[in-house]
Amino acid sequence: GLGWALVFTPSLGTVARYFPARRALATGLVVSGASVSGLALGPLVPFLLDTYGWRGALLLLAALSFNLVAAGALLRPLPHPGEPSGPPKAGGGLLRLLRHGPFLRYALAFLLVDAGYYVPFVHGEARAQEVGCGDRGAGLVMAAMAGVDGGGRLAGGWLAGRPAARLLRHLFAWVTLTGLTLLLLPLGTTFGGLLALALAYGFCAGALVPLQFSGVAEVVGAGPPLVNAIGLMQMFESLGSLLGAPFAGWLRDTTGDFTISFLVAGAFLLAGSLLILTLPGFSCSSR
């Protein structure tokens, strides 16, 4: 978890500063790699476990991960005009962010979003089995949802680069659509219906990911505080991610099915979308 954070956060911050004009598209291309690797590792990991055992599989996955060292070595600072040449002072930047009202609302919005966002990814397979899809059908539903997630990330980043509306408006739309789709998931009581809703959810959920990180620059600017802001936002998000799926599981145990779990998860996303409405610049017509 620590290693993932040390790679993911500075990588996103760097991309956001490298491509100010097409930040959302660049971020969409970057985060779509997670979907590609997830689909590739799905069949690869069982093969490695069967062939080399769990110790050998971990060593091979570690060897793949060490390529991140070479990738990280290619990243270079990109100073902006008027910025100091030395590294930013992280402590002062964090304190300013903790007093930055719009940023705190943005972080709270995604704490709520993540409280519901991962519920279908964690409990989707159990829901599919609950409605009688079987192991194979449940696996197909989850694979389809993960597959379209990558396409949604690319589409969301590309559409946000169009000059028709501000990025925050795109973000609000995708968060709202994701929440509404999540509210509809309990209606999927057959394999076909659940698969269609899972495809819709995966696409919308993927589309909001690049805009979520690009939106940080819209709120705090693309200067040195950006990486601090992304890291702090992810810390807030982790609270929602940590609590959301277990809470959904508790609701399932209490009520006997996943209907209330998905409805509450969708309500969390819609509540987060309302906070996005309060951000400065949301109602501006020009970019």
Give the pLDDT of residue 34: 79
Neighbours of 172 (CB within 10 A): 24
Give φ, ψ of 200 to 5 degrees: -65, -45
Report the alpha-carbon distance of residue 87 to residue 63 in Å, rounded. Answer: 31
User: What would the mean pLDDT of 259-279 be, rounded to a whole number?
Assistant: 95
Report the alpha-carbon distance of residue 287 to residue 280 in Å, rounded. Answer: 13
Using a pLDDT cut of 90, give the percent of the chain over it: 53
**What mean pLDDT is reported for the chain?**
88
Query: pTM for the full model?
Result: 0.86
Report the alpha-carbon distance of residue 256 to residue 217 in Å, rounded. Answer: 43
Look up residue 247 and give its two tokens: 């809470």
Neighbours of 96 (CB within 10 A): 14
Give the pLDDT of residue 3: 87
Domains of the chain: 1-72+95-278 (1.20.1250.20)
Termini Cα distance of the chain: 36
- Is the distance from CB of 264 to CB of 94 less than 8 angstroms? no
pLDDT exceeds cutoff 70 at 58: yes
User: What would the mean pLDDT of 238-255 be, rounded to a whole number?
Assistant: 95
pLDDT digits (tens, 9 = 90+) for 70-118: 988 888 877 665 555 555 555 557 888 988 999 999 999 999 999 999 9
- Is the distance from CB of 110 to CB of 212 less than 8 angstroms? yes
Give the pLDDT of residue 228: 87
pLDDT digits (tens, 9 = 90+) for 142-189: 888 988 998 999 999 999 877 656 889 999 999 999 999 999 999 999
Give the pLDDT of residue 102: 93
